Amino acid sequence: MKILVIGGGGREDVLAWKLARDSARPELFCAPGNAGTRRYGTNLDIGAEDMDALLAWARVHRPDLTVVGPEAPLCAGVVDQFEAEGLRVFGPSQAGAELEGSKVFSKEVMSAAGVPTAAAEYFTSAAEAKAYLDQTGVPVVIKAEGLAAGKGVTVCETREQAESAIDESLVGRAFGDAGNRILVEAFLDGEEASILALVDGTRFVLLASSQDHKRALDDDQGPNTGGMGAYSPAPIIADEMWPLIRDTVFQPLLDELTRRGISYKGVLYAGLMVGESGIKVLEFNCRFGDPEAQVVIPRISSDLVPVLNACIDGALSDDLVTWHDDVAVGVVMASGGYPGSYQKGKVIEGLDDAGSLDGVVVFHAGTAVRDGDVVTSGGRVLCVTARGRDLEQAVAQAYKAIEKIGFDGAHYRRDIAAKAFRCVRST
Ligand code: AMP
Ligand code: GLY
């Protein structure tokens, strides 16, 4: 069995790691992969967004299954194109991926479905957007409509910040066409959690909860990043919240998509804000979260291939996904300067030592091989993941592993999972 994984980040490394362990023992190919995915298969010199080259490879090699990691190829319609070639591919169609590709579409669907979310209006005129701030006041959130690599959202404490975020997108075109329209959204207070579901067109299976750490620095300070670490499960998601998440978020959303003629298959990711007024959806994504995947997927004890195939075939059932009775923590090691500009090509030491610790897997993200060395090649470089019987143990093990790894300029947060301890202690 041949499987193609599209993408080259930490999420794709954990997907390759898990698929390599499948009882079907698949032959894995990653496009483009990273220095980590080489451990499990063959890296192809094809970018995740190079649709023509992906299709050309797939026509010749006929993978039995293709798993799409990132949002960009999904929003560009890679699933539709592969399906048109008679290929089996896991992920939503371009129409389904619009939930992530357009924050305006996503809001419209949520509103039609009655899914709880923050009130928002959209604008193409900076003057009209600024005038609307009279009604919202601050804090307020300004969001570019389209894909902006995690940089299109600004949480604004002051009116000046909000006006400059509006100008940045609509006048300065900081996000190109992705920022032609913006949302001005009510600020929600609370604690975030990520809930991922596997979806087969009509049915869905909710995966274990997790929590990302979006800010660059400890105590949620500094700029937003793609995610600096995660843990699973997230105790902020109490047992009694699951029926609510199922019945007021995922079910109505999928029903509304069906009404619109969209059969959603793949991963549906809800970014939730859990606050005093209950659960509200911050965003939907059309793929596994990164770094959430690195802490959720290793906790799955069942094979992944049958469940991904069941999503494609409309044959999903709860019993296809079983879980290890443990917890997982992942700490991202990033390049010096990330999420701003950073240098590449720094030699990474200590990977084998770290990976040999009990329960630890070092997932790669921005890594490459140069002259036999593993070197940095991106902003987020590694996600050092540890599984353990409880969070204390997993956190201690992840940071023990990090101490063994070094590269010039490396930075990471020291407080991954700290909120979970606060949450556990307060309950
Ligand atoms: P998004 O890409 O929409 O999830 O936004 C990125 C991050 O911005 C989220 O993970 C939150 O931390 C923050 N954020 C987005 N929308 C809101 C909101 N309405 N209220 C407060 N924080 C928000
Ligand atoms: N970790 C956030 C995301 O994957 O969008």
CATH of the domain at 248: 3.30.470.20
pLDDT per residue over 191-209, tens digit each? 999 999 999 999 999 999 9
DSSP 75-130: HTTHHHHHHHTT--EES--HHHHHHHH-HHHHHHHHHHHT--B--EEEES-HHHHH
105 assigned to some structural domain: no
55 within 8 A of 86, measured Cβ to Cβ? no
The predicted model gives 52-58 an average pLDDT of: 98
Q: Last residue of a domain, which of 113, 148, 180? A: 180
- Per-residue confidence band for 425, with pLDDT thresholds at 50, 70 and 90: low
Beta-bridged to residue 403, according to DSSP, are none
Closest C-alpha to 320, from 199, 193, 237: 199
Taking CA atoms only, the protein residue closest to ligand 2 atom 4 is: 289
Q: Last residue of a domain, which of 160, 180, 200? A: 180
pLDDT score, position 424? 65
How far apart CA 161 and CA 296 sit, in angstroms, is 36
How far apart CA 293 and CA 304 sit, in angstroms, is 13
- Are residue 296 and residue 392 in the same domain, yes or no? no
Q: What is the pTM of this model?
A: 0.96
Q: Last residue of a domain, which of 298, 320, 342? A: 320
242 within 8 A of 251, measured Cβ to Cβ? no
Site of tokens 């009404």: 259
- Are residue 359 and residue 413 in the same domain, yes or no? yes
- Per-residue confidence band for 150, with pLDDT thresholds at 50, 70 and 90: confident
Q: Atom of ligand 2 at shortest distance to CA of 212?
A: 1
- Are residue 296 and residue 332 in the same domain, yes or no? no
pLDDT score, position 423? 73
Q: What does the chain come to in residues?
A: 427
pLDDT of 427 > 60? The answer is no
Please, what is the angle between helix 94-101 and helix 103-113, to 10°?
A: 100
- β-pairing, 27-32 vs 41-43, is parallel
pLDDT score, position 103? 96
Closest C-alpha to 253, from 108, 406, 71: 108
Q: How many distinct structural domains can be found in the chain?
A: 4
The predicted model gives 285-314 an average pLDDT of: 98
Give the ligand at the shortest distance from the Cα of 148. Answer: 1
Q: Is 214 in the pocket of ligand 1 (CB under 6 A)?
A: yes
Question: How would you label 304-315 residue by residue, b for 16+ Cβ within 10 Å and e otherwise?
Answer: bbebbbbbbeee
pLDDT per residue over 98-107, tens digit each? 999 999 999 9
Q: Is 46 in the pocket of ligand 1 (CB under 6 A)?
A: no
How far apart CA 350 and CA 346 sit, in angstroms, is 13
* Collapsed DSSP state (helix, strand, coil) of residue 144: strand
How far apart CA 237 and CA 257 sit, in angstroms, is 25
412 assigned to some structural domain: yes
- Are residue 254 and residue 151 in the same domain, yes or no? no
Residues of the chain with pLDDT > 70: what percent?
A: 99
* Collapsed DSSP state (helix, strand, coil) of residue 164: helix
- Are residue 213 and residue 316 in the same domain, yes or no? yes
Q: Which of 153, 154, 189, 191 to mutate to test the pocket of ligand 1 (most atoms within 8 A of CB)?
A: 153
pLDDT score, position 277? 84
pLDDT of 111 > 90? The answer is yes
Q: Is 185 in the pocket of ligand 1 (CB under 6 A)?
A: yes
How far apart CA 29 and CA 42 sit, in angstroms, is 5
Q: Domain range for residue 331?
A: 327-425
